[in-house]
Amino acid sequence: MAGEVGKSGGGLAMLSFVGGIATLAGIAALVISGGRMGMRAIFIGVVLCVLNFVVATFATWILIPVLIATGMVSIAWGYVTYKQVLKDKE
């Protein structure tokens, strides 16, 4: 089972790896500091692991809105640049 998860992760495996390391570092910081530090690292690690799962599961649902938003920003930026060039020519 672990081998299949590793194969399917592909490029997203880095998120889980960094999330796991951050979680372990947070747990170690909690143990060493007596509970005063480390919650931020644990939170970041868990968020990275959840982000990996969400992106792997809903990649197509995330990709299409990002592509549309990027296209809209590009068109708007091109329009503003075009208007600025026309204004500078006059």
The 10s digit of each residue's pLDDT in 37-80 is 778 888 888 888 888 888 778 877 777 888 889 999 999 999 99
pLDDT mean across residues, the chain: 79
Look up the domain containing 90 and give its range.
Answer: 59-90
d(CA 8, CA 1): 11
Contact 47, 31 (CB under 8 A): no
* Closest to 16 in 3D by CA, of 45, 37, 38: 45
- pLDDT band at 28; cut points 50, 70, 90: confident
Co-location of 18 and 2 in the same domain: yes
| 41 to 7, 49, 70: CA distances (angstroms) | 27, 12, 31
Co-location of 25 and 37 in the same domain: yes
Co-location of 5 and 39 in the same domain: yes
Q: How many folded domains does the chain comprise?
A: 2
Co-location of 21 and 10 in the same domain: yes
Co-location of 16 and 41 in the same domain: yes
Helix (H, G, I), strand (E, B) or coil at 60: helix
